Amino acid sequence: MSLFFKCLTNLFYAFTAIFLIKIIYKYLEDKSVKCLLNEESTKLLEKCMYIVKPGLRLACRFYWRKEGWYKMQNVKKILMGKANNEESGILDDSELLIVLKSLTDSALIIPSTDASSLMTFDDYAVVLCGNDLIQICKELKLKNVTNKKCAIDTLKSYSKRKSIKNFCTGGSEDNSRRVLKM
């Protein structure tokens, strides 16, 4: 399963999940109000009715936040909300994966896969902490990197440089793919 997830639309507002489910259900049952939303939005609402139980709560919490990518561990924290330490064991990793698959299948979130990442360098720079970026710089043997901003600037500069394999193959590819793979 992917390590990063992104919410796709800002359809939901600050409603509790139960209240939202009731609104969606009433909307889908009442034919006179169906003309208020376009067909795509109506289909999205229909999909919401089939999301695994805590999934709609997670979708609501995603949409309250700024659109962006989230690490798996942060997704779990978002879903848990302000739960006490005693309640933190409510959702284990296997249940979280089921919830995320349900949201992905419903097209409410999109995962970033290793094969075809939808994330840009700037997305990674926001999601990854300074230590992660500094570690990437070390793996690429980039020196004098001391903080997150310096790591971002160094990696951007490195991405723009021509790849060493160009000397062997005669290509004109830069290092941007290599940095994103790290």
In contact, 17 and 56? CB cutoff 8 Å: yes
pLDDT digits 0-9 by tens, 81-101? 655 444 445 677 788 888 888
Q: Looking at 15-19, 126-130, 141-145, which range is the least confident one?
A: 15-19
Quote the tokens at residue 52: 């695994």
pLDDT digits 0-9 by tens, 6-40? 554 444 433 456 677 778 778 888 888 878 888 88
pLDDT digits 0-9 by tens, 33-60? 878 888 887 887 888 777 877 787 777 7
Domain boundaries, the chain: 4-112, 121-181
| CA-based end-to-end distance of the chain | 18
Query: Residue 16: what pLDDT?
Result: 56
Task: Please list the alpha-helical segments (H only) found in the chain.
Answer: 17-29, 39-48, 53-64, 72-80, 93-105, 121-127, 130-139, 148-160, 165-169, 176-181
| Interaxial angle between packed helices 72-80 and 53-64, expressed in degrees from 0 to 180 and rounded to the nearest 10 | 100
Once rounded to an integer, what is the mean pLDDT over residues 96-125?
Answer: 78
Once rounded to an integer, what is the mean pLDDT over residues 159-171?
Answer: 67
